[in-house]
A and B are shown apart, each in its own frame.
Chain A
Amino acid sequence: MAERIQRIHVADDGSEHATWILHYALRMARHLDPPRVQVLHVPNGGASLPAVHRARQESFAERLGVELVFRDLPATPDVAAALSDHVRPGAEDVVLVGFRAHRHGRGLALGTGGHALLERHDHAVLAMRVVEPGNLGLPRVAALGLSESPGLVERLAPAAQLLAPDLEELWLLHVTEVQRRFLGALSYPRLRELERHGLETLERCEATLRRTVELPPRVERCTDVAEAWPTQLVMDAHRAHAHLLLLGASDHLLPRRFSLSNPLEAVLRNAACDVAVFRAASPGA
């Protein structure tokens, strides 16, 4: 089981999106000892963060009783390396970093700092795209996208531990993907069998989570069978009125080249709530 996260870092490029992610970091840090967030400023064109920007961030932190520490990183083309160099390797540190807020004709994940950090295993990474800035980093309802992947729920546990104290409701979501040609021919007994299997998976996941995470008062499960799990997952998250959808990263999930069919791109593009992708530090990091 992954260790509990003790320190939170946020990659800040001075954008509004980074500010939205900082809200999440501050909320999570409130439950740490000490309640502190390190802001790693990644220079955009060499300039450091404007003072007004820092002042704004400090006021957020002050409201929530969290200490904010700023560190300006040297300008470098390899942002992920620069961030990783300034974070202690291991499972106790997590870096919150953003995907793109806006496509600009490109993908939302590919080529971003979030994508690059997720491919590294030095420390835990929580890469996010925020589409509900009005929540101010306070997701009262969260959804976890789960599968049969061995150890997935254990790997997600550290992120769940950070989010759980502020949650009122947690949804565990599972989608069994069936190709359209077979979905068309799928008999209803078989459909029910797949749904039942999905529910059993979720029951096991919930039991595993409860061993290490203090879950909110209400935990619900939802399983579906669909031809495309990314779009079904975002639909289920919407039905659950989730403010945040949390996924576990894997090499399969991360895009290698720009493709609208990449599952992570599909989730980020279609989700009606904030999306966070978590990768724990690899053992021994």
Chain B
Amino acid sequence: MPQRQIQNVPPDEVLSLLGSAAEGLTNEEAARRLKQVGPNVLSEPDRHAWLKALGRQLINFFTLLLLGAAGICAIAHQAAPDEGMDLMGWALSGVALLNALFAFVQEYRAERAMQALLGFLPQQVTVLRAGHPVRLTADQLVPGDVIEVGEGDRIAADARLLAGEGLSVDNAPLTGESRAMRCRPEASDAARTVDADNVLFAGCSVLRGSGRAVVFATGRRTEFGRIAMLSTEVERAPSPLERETAHMVRVLTAIAVGMGVAFFVYGLVAGRPLLVNLVFMMGIIVANVPEGLLPTFTLALAMGSTRMAKRQVLVKSLGAVETLGAVQVVCTDKTGTLTRNDLRLTETVAGAPDADGAPRACEGDALRALIEAAYLASETKLVEGERRGDPLDVELAGKLEELGARPEAIDEARAEVLPFDVNLRRAGGRSAERFAVKGAWMALRPMIARVEGEAADEEALAATDALVTALTRRGKRVIAVASRPLGPDEEAAGERPREALERDLDLLGLLCLEDPLRPQVPDAVAAAKRAGVEVIMVTGDHPETATEIARQAGIVEAGAEAEQVAMTGQVLEAKSRAELEAALEGGTRVFARTTPAQKMKIVQALQGLGKVVAMTGDGVNDAPALRAAELGIAMGKQGTDVAREAAQIVLLDDDFASIVAGIQEGRTVFANIQKFTNYVLVSNGPEILPYILFILFPVPLALTVIQILSIDLGTDIVPSMALGREPPEEGIMDLPPRSREESLLSFRLIAHSYFFLGLLEAAWSLSIFAWVMAEGGWRIGMPIPASDDPTYQAATGAALSTILLMQIGNLIGRRSRTRSGLDAGLFRNPLIVVGILVQIVFSWAVLYWAPLQTVLATGPVDLEIYAFAWLGVPLIWGADYLRKRVAGWLRARGPSPDAAAQ
């Protein structure tokens, strides 16, 4: 019983299967079907997509928290207009909107992706209706419609070919395969529709010839439509950084709200007025929540992506910058990524080896005959004096000219072209007198009757087998060339079935091509391996050729054999996931003769082993996998628009070395995020402690809410950004990839920020606060001074100024996990200098510049006190440097990981 899909059905049955006829559908039947199945469109545009995207950002947890806090400030301002709560409310609202806007701009991509998709379908098509060809808009096509296609046409729907004349199509938008596919109407044996040569696919185009086909799938039911819709509508899983950021925000918010509510309740129980408790609760929450952190995150990622763009890596999703740094395995294409995609003819070899089995150079007349035959089986065009076509074909034309022959003569004599068939793995050409074919040796072998004019027996063919194997082991791509003269009855013009031509051929020789490795690839692979990143090659090429390239690139050891490290797509197909995982763990690093469809299986197996995988891809078929993978990398030059839209990273120069550069940048970004997170959290200590003391003891509040905001939303922003711009630390690529368990907000970081440096800043600033209060005559037990008391204002100003100055020492120390922070030179990152200047200027201005004094309710102090505040800089820097030295000493003595915290 036939197991048949549309491609397996003979052409004479297809029409009745689809309820159609040779003259097409009637208009009434077409209208009926249009109503049932809908128009032939890929999408129904969502005009409100941008609004929904913005809305999503406005209702996320952090934004709602800030807006809620702003609301409370507005209420508090109504009750007590002189407390400045309105200013705080506006500031919090501004931060909330800023956060939402940043996230919206980065996340909203649907519009661009949709535009790319819509461009793939043609506007109009020629359809047979009741026997008459009519031009219709493509959206009116229905299953059963008979369409006519010609050279240059884009195909509007999936259709089964009924008749064709020299029809060749370019399926690259769907499959990424750049070779033309020759189409024929006969039933195909292909198990999958997408592999069939008798199906025309929507979104692809006709390169040559013409044909007539019956539509069987339209709109979102086409191969293109189903895949493209999936790649744009399915949400990507959150990246590791997004998870970490969300986790960190929740933890900090929980701490902030918990403390705030606790002190609110305590204040109520202690009998303080409701408004006062409300203000202090806001103060605790504001002090704990690092309002400037999320915009700084986004800015750091944006700066990282800008740096990566300079290294030819375009980041389309900001989180991908950091994910690249966590990558443990890179699955990379070969041609064009590891190699230059510049196939060169480097050697011409006779079809039979010498007596010792070694290759013999093809020379003289034999060489000319070889090149002429190879060119006959090729096709180029002269466009404005320049020869254009497949690079090999162009090279053959050049070689002919070197030999003193005229390619134009062969072009004129060529009566028929059989373009390269990716399944048959050969191309052919015919003149009036001769037929020639070139392609993979194993594809030609069954047709060979002679080798260099001598009758070929099995022994001779086996000798050529061995010769080809030896050449591929040397990394060459071997193209066999064979031809035969045509008999008198074959000389008539007109197409002949391929099978009739491809017989009794004489093997003339072998063309050896090399696609050289990109010169920077071996170093890039070595750097990746040092960084603990495995590289796996996935290619459609021969396993021997692929393994040789892998050896040259350093992906496998110099002496590795293909049997040990390579696996073909055929073997891969038969393996279960568990077996594939075992093979990967056993050292398989090269996947050859694979299709884009098999790539996903490799990635899934690697993910099953717990690896963070980056995958390269270029076809529409790759698009959903690129979007759903932890990191999809599309090719900028040879990739499709849909693949580029679906991926998070685009290699602008298609160069593997750029991926490794991107990994280094990604690691740097994560390290920098840790640095400025640590930096920002340190200032929480001196912000929170005054409130705790104020609630627990009869002491004045050392820092007001407005002053806290001036740090979190003001002076800390530039230094945070400066840390976000730190260049890669030495040795960052000598460390293994970040563990997936490594958290951004670890206990070590919290302890270091809150209980070490934060406590130190708090202690020093509060000491200076107390000193100023004491100088002004205030003692414990006396009434709490009013907020406009000059001594109180001077004291809070001094405390604030101290914190600002100590943040300079904190900033310098955060530049390095293990070193002083001064060794790298401050001017290596000019923004660090700017950050320091900002702190210095503000530390002075809060005390001595009237406008700022008014806004922040501060006052001047003696210069002696200001000088003491400056002592906080070496104090905090020195204490942290001492900690680093001790930690380093302990590390040198034994395993004592000094993890994320600095």
A binds B: yes
A79 CA / B19 CA spacing, docked (Å): 26
Segment at the interface with B among A101-109, A112-120, A156-164: A101-109
**CB contact list, A151-187 vs B, under 8 A:** 166, 168, 180-181, 183-187
A138 at the interface (CB under 8 A from B): yes
A133 at the interface (CB under 8 A from B): yes
Determine if A184 and B246 form an interchain contact, defined as CB atoms under 8 angstroms apart. yes
A64 CA / B250 CA spacing, docked (Å): 61
A138 CA / B4 CA spacing, docked (Å): 7
A28, chain B: closest CB distance, angstroms: 13
B846 at the interface (CB under 8 A from A): no
Determine if A134 and B741 form an interchain contact, defined as CB atoms under 8 angstroms apart. no
Determine if A241 and B1 form an interchain contact, defined as CB atoms under 8 angstroms apart. no
Which residue of A is nearest B39, CB measured?
A102
Contact A220 B576, CB 8 Å, known A102-B38, A272-B230: yes
A234 at the interface (CB under 8 A from B): yes
Determine if B600 and A270 form an interchain contact, defined as CB atoms under 8 angstroms apart. no
A263, chain B: closest CB distance, angstroms: 14
A183 CA / B245 CA spacing, docked (Å): 12
Segment at the interface with B among A53-61, A82-90, A207-215, A244-252: A53-61
Contact A16 B234, CB 8 Å, known A134-B216, A184-B243, A188-B740: no
Which residue of A is nearest B193, CB measured?
A134
| Residues of chain A within 8 A of B242, CB atoms compared | 184
Determine if A138 and B230 form an interchain contact, defined as CB atoms under 8 angstroms apart. no
- New A-B pairs, 4, CB < 8 Å, besides A52-B19, A132-B217: A17-B37, A135-B6, A181-B246, A188-B740
A136 at the interface (CB under 8 A from B): yes
The count of residues in chain B whose C-beta lies closer than 8 Å to any C-beta of chain A is: 58
Contact A192 B610, CB 8 Å, known A134-B6, A231-B235, A234-B234: yes
A183 CA / B236 CA spacing, docked (Å): 13
**CB contact list, B212-236 vs A, under 8 A:** 216-217, 220-221, 226-227, 229-230, 233-235
Q: Which residues of A contact B (CB under 8 A)?
A: 15-17, 19, 30, 52-53, 56, 59-60, 63-65, 101-104, 131-136, 138, 140, 166, 168, 180-181, 183-189, 192, 218, 220-222, 226, 228, 231, 234-235, 238-239, 241, 270, 272-273
| Residues of chain B within 8 A of A104, CB atoms compared | 38
| Residues of chain B within 8 A of A59, CB atoms compared | 16
B336 at the interface (CB under 8 A from A): no
A238 CA / B625 CA spacing, docked (Å): 9
Determine if B235 and A181 form an interchain contact, defined as CB atoms under 8 angstroms apart. no
Determine if A270 and B230 form an interchain contact, defined as CB atoms under 8 angstroms apart. yes
Determine if B238 and A183 form an interchain contact, defined as CB atoms under 8 angstroms apart. yes
Determine if B230 and A166 form an interchain contact, defined as CB atoms under 8 angstroms apart. no
| Residues of chain A within 8 A of B9, CB atoms compared | 136
Determine if B235 and A238 form an interchain contact, defined as CB atoms under 8 angstroms apart. no
Determine if B234 and A235 form an interchain contact, defined as CB atoms under 8 angstroms apart. yes
Determine if A134 and B5 form an interchain contact, defined as CB atoms under 8 angstroms apart. yes
Q: Please pick, from B5, B192, B193, B600, the residue contacting A239 in the complex, using a CB distance under 8 A.
A: B600
Determine if B238 and A56 form an interchain contact, defined as CB atoms under 8 angstroms apart. no
Contact A187 B741, CB 8 Å, known A15-B36, A134-B217, A228-B235: yes
Q: Please pick, from B6, B37, B193, B229, the residue contacting A16 in the complex, using a CB distance under 8 A.
A: B37
| Residues of chain A within 8 A of B237, CB atoms compared | 226
A225 CA / B33 CA spacing, docked (Å): 40
Which residue of A is nearest B142, CB measured?
A16
Contact A140 B191, CB 8 Å, known A30-B1, A241-B597: yes
Determine if A131 and B38 form an interchain contact, defined as CB atoms under 8 angstroms apart. no
B604 at the interface (CB under 8 A from A): yes
Contact A166 B36, CB 8 Å, known A56-B19, A184-B238, A239-B625: no
Determine if A183 and B243 form an interchain contact, defined as CB atoms under 8 angstroms apart. yes
Q: Please pick, from A16, A60, A65, the residue contacting B143 in the complex, using a CB distance under 8 A.
A: A16
Determine if B234 and A270 form an interchain contact, defined as CB atoms under 8 angstroms apart. yes
B388 at the interface (CB under 8 A from A): no
A22 CA / B38 CA spacing, docked (Å): 20
Jot down 28 A-B pairs with beta carbons below 8 A, ordered by A.
A17-B37, A30-B1, A52-B19, A53-B19, A63-B2, A131-B217, A131-B221, A132-B221, A134-B193, A134-B217, A135-B193, A136-B4, A136-B5, A136-B9, A168-B191, A183-B238, A183-B243, A184-B246, A184-B247, A185-B243, A188-B740, A188-B741, A218-B576, A220-B577, A228-B235, A238-B230, A241-B597, A270-B234
Determine if B37 and A101 form an interchain contact, defined as CB atoms under 8 angstroms apart. yes
A188, chain B: closest CB distance, angstroms: 4
B199 at the interface (CB under 8 A from A): yes
Determine if A16 and B5 form an interchain contact, defined as CB atoms under 8 angstroms apart. no
| Residues of chain A within 8 A of B610, CB atoms compared | 192
| Residues of chain A within 8 A of B740, CB atoms compared | 188
A192 CA / B607 CA spacing, docked (Å): 11
| Residues of chain B within 8 A of A235, CB atoms compared | 230, 234, 624, 628
A136 CA / B216 CA spacing, docked (Å): 10
A206 CA / B2 CA spacing, docked (Å): 29
B7 at the interface (CB under 8 A from A): yes
A151, chain B: closest CB distance, angstroms: 27
| Residues of chain B within 8 A of A226, CB atoms compared | 237
A180 CA / B59 CA spacing, docked (Å): 13
Chain B CB within 10 Å, residue with most, of A59, A184, A187: A184
| Residues of chain B within 8 A of A187, CB atoms compared | 741, 743
Contact A133 B624, CB 8 Å, known A138-B4, A270-B230: no
Determine if A133 and B230 form an interchain contact, defined as CB atoms under 8 angstroms apart. no
Which residue of A is nearest B158, CB measured?
A134
A253 CA / B233 CA spacing, docked (Å): 21
| Residues of chain A within 8 A of B216, CB atoms compared | 133-134
| Residues of chain B within 8 A of A222, CB atoms compared | 604
| Residues of chain A within 8 A of B250, CB atoms compared | 181, 184-185
Per-residue interface assignment for chain B, residues 761 to 775, with 1 indicating a CB less than 8 Å from any chain A CB and 0 otherwise: 000000000000000
Determine if B36 and A102 form an interchain contact, defined as CB atoms under 8 angstroms apart. yes
Determine if A185 and B247 form an interchain contact, defined as CB atoms under 8 angstroms apart. yes
Contact A102 B37, CB 8 Å, known A16-B143, A56-B16, A222-B604: yes
Q: Please pick, from B61, B143, B191, B741, the residue contacting A133 in the complex, using a CB distance under 8 A.
A: B143
| Residues of chain B within 8 A of A65, CB atoms compared | 1
A63 CA / B16 CA spacing, docked (Å): 12
B307, chain A: closest CB distance, angstroms: 27
B17 at the interface (CB under 8 A from A): yes
| Residues of chain B within 8 A of A273, CB atoms compared | 226
Per-residue interface assignment for chain B, residues 124 to 154, with 1 indicating a CB less than 8 Å from any chain A CB and 0 otherwise: 0000000000000000001110000000000
B346 at the interface (CB under 8 A from A): no
Which residue of A is nearest B219, CB measured?
A102
B115 at the interface (CB under 8 A from A): no
Which residue of B is nearest A19, CB measured?
B19
Which residue of B is nearest A23, CB measured?
B17
B3 at the interface (CB under 8 A from A): yes
A130 CA / B230 CA spacing, docked (Å): 16
Determine if B220 and A131 form an interchain contact, defined as CB atoms under 8 angstroms apart. yes
Chain A CB within 10 Å, residue with most, of B5, B38, B227, B235: B5
Chain B CB within 10 Å, residue with most, of A226, A270, A272: A272
| Residues of chain A within 8 A of B243, CB atoms compared | 183-186
Determine if A138 and B3 form an interchain contact, defined as CB atoms under 8 angstroms apart. yes
**CB contact list, B432-490 vs A, under 8 A:** none
| Residues of chain B within 8 A of A16, CB atoms compared | 19, 33, 36-37, 142-144
A56 CA / B19 CA spacing, docked (Å): 7
Per-residue interface assignment for chain B, residues 235 to 262, with 1 indicating a CB less than 8 Å from any chain A CB and 0 otherwise: 1011000110111001000000000000
A85 CA / B16 CA spacing, docked (Å): 33
A188 CA / B328 CA spacing, docked (Å): 15
A15 CA / B36 CA spacing, docked (Å): 7
Which residue of A is nearest B227, CB measured?
A272
Determine if A60 and B17 form an interchain contact, defined as CB atoms under 8 angstroms apart. yes
Per-residue interface assignment for chain B, residues 28 to 53, with 1 indicating a CB less than 8 Å from any chain A CB and 0 otherwise: 00000100111000001000000000
Q: Please pick, from B7, B199, B226, B245, the residue contacting A131 in the complex, using a CB distance under 8 A.
A: B226
